[in-house]
């Protein structure tokens, strides 16, 4: 195996192990979060309250040696509360920039759909360009800037649906389910002692495996993984099939093609391989496509789900040998 690929695999394995010291279960969720980080993209995290969405992002930041900030989205949150603003300094007789929480590496946008569209759009430039414009001045963010936005799938009262343009900027939709019985039993036992997940994180049980500066270099190591031309064609055909499926009103755009390619390559690296296979593409298709497809109303009324449509598309597109 190429030394760069071996180094990448070792770091990903170590990061997964360290996160597992804090997060009980949720192995697939941890893998998807690492894929989002190591491809330089953002993730939409959906789950009921109490499944450790916030704890997951805090743990990732600690393990990867990155800075962490959190924004609690509410209906009265203003764009300046996210980006920051210029405040007049009487002593210096000048305006000074007071940076908002967006100036970080890992940003947790908690319950992002509770803020109106004007506030949600304050993140669009930061997510796409890793830059923020404040009073006509553009400020660069960290090259590793990553947004993890959470949504509660149960409670919709007082929420504002995410615009399609913003959902498309999230590479993955990560669904965090409630833990299995054995995992919940382990959590209950840990809560009786001093090694609860939150306390363990504060004590530094999860050790950093890299620094933030290493993250950019390791991301470049992805380029050594082999992706055949036939596989590229398979990915393109899958995305194009979403635009012609009879039950789909709005299919996935070109950004989904890029996301599926990069996510599949990152999954191969996570599994310690130096090549990408069709199985990697099939595994990553649901989290990449689920939040991007809009079904026709008549099919939704019949109870058809986006997940079922994705599986149907996977069956109809020819798999390369």
Per-residue pLDDT of 179-225, as tens digits, reads 888 988 888 888 887 788 888 888 878 888 888 788 888 887 777 78
Comparing CA positions, the residue from 185, 150, 138, 123 lying closest to residue 58 is 150
State how far the Cα of 143 lies from the Cα of 75, in Å rounded to an integer: 30
Question: Which of 190, 222, 254 corresponds to the end of one domain?
Answer: 222
State how far the Cα of 51 lies from the Cα of 30, in Å rounded to an integer: 13
Instruction: Say yes or no: 174 and 132 in one domain.
Output: yes
Instruction: Say yes or no: 301 and 313 in one domain.
Output: yes
Question: Which of 222, 244, 268 corresponds to the end of one domain?
Answer: 222
Question: Which of 222, 250, 271 corresponds to the end of one domain?
Answer: 222
The rounded radius of gyration (Å) of the Cα atoms in the chain is: 20
Q: Is the pLDDT of residue 299 over 80?
A: yes
User: How do strand 170-175 and strand 42-46 relate by DSSP bridges?
Assistant: parallel
State how far the Cα of 285 lies from the Cα of 102, in Å rounded to an integer: 29
Instruction: Say yes or no: 23 and 78 in one domain.
Output: yes
Instruction: Say yes or no: 129 and 68 in one domain.
Output: yes
In the chain, how many domains are there? Answer: 2
Instruction: Say yes or no: 35 and 161 in one domain.
Output: yes
Instruction: Say yes or no: 90 and 202 in one domain.
Output: yes
Cite the beta strand spans of the chain per DSSP E: 42-46, 68-72, 84-89, 94-99, 106-110, 131-134, 137-140, 146-151, 170-175, 248-250, 294-295
What is the CATH number for 143?
3.40.50.300
Per-residue pLDDT of 124-143, as tens digits, reads 888 888 888 888 888 898 88
What is the CATH number for 277?
1.10.8.80
pLDDT band of residue 279 (cuts 50, 70, 90) is very high
pTM of the entire predicted model: 0.88
Instruction: Say yes or no: 296 and 208 in one domain.
Output: no
Instruction: Say yes or no: 91 and 102 in one domain.
Output: yes
Instruction: Say yes or no: 182 and 248 in one domain.
Output: no
Q: Is the pLDDT of residue 78 over 70?
A: yes
Instruction: Say yes or no: 150 and 246 in one domain.
Output: no
Instruction: Say yes or no: 75 and 213 in one domain.
Output: yes
Per-residue pLDDT of 143-167, as tens digits, reads 889 999 988 766 666 677 777 777 8
Parent domain of 293: 225-321
State how far the Cα of 161 lies from the Cα of 113, in Å rounded to an integer: 6
User: Chain-wide mean pLDDT for the chain?
Assistant: 86
């Amino acid at each position: 195996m190429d030394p760069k690929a071996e180094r990448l695999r070792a770091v990903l394995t170590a990061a997964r192990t360290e996160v597992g010291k804090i997060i009980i279960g949720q192995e697939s969720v941890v893998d998807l979060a690492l894929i989002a980080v190591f491809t330089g993209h953002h993730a939409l995290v959906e789950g009921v309250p109490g499944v450790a969405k916030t704890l997951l992002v805090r743990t990732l930041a600690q393990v990867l040696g990155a800075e962490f900030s959190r924004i609690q989205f509410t209906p009265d949150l203003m764009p300046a509360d996210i980006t920051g603003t210029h405040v007049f300094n009487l002593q210096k007789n000048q305006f000074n920039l007071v940076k908002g929480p967006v100036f970080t590496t890992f940003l947790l946008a908690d319950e992002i759909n509770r803020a109106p569209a004007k506030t949600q759009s304050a993140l669009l430039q930061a997510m796409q360009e890793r830059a923020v414009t404040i009073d006509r001045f553009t400020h660069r963010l960290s090259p590793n800037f990553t947004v993890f936005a959470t949504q509660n799938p149960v409670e919709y009262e007082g929420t504002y649906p995410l615009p399609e343009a913003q959902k498309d900027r999230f590479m993955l939709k990560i669904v965090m389910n409630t833990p299995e019985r054995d995992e919940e039993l382990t959590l209950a036992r840990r809560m009786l002692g001093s090694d609860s997940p939150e306390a363990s994180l504060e004590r530094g049980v999860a050790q950093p495996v890299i620094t933030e500066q290493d993250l950019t270099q390791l991301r470049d190591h992805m380029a050594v993984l082999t992706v055949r031309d036939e596989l590229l064609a398979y990915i393109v055909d899958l995305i194009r099939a979403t635009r012609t499926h009879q039950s789909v009103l709005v299919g996935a755009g070109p950004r989904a093609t890029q996301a599926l390619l990069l996510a599949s390559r990152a999954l191969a690296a996570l599994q310690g391989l130096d090549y990408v296979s069709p199985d990697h593409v099939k595994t990553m298709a649901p989290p990449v496509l689920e939040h991007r497809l809009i079904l026709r109303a008549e099919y939704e009324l019949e109870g058809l789900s986006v997940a079922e449509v994705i599986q149907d598309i996977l069956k109809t597109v020819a798999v390369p040998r």
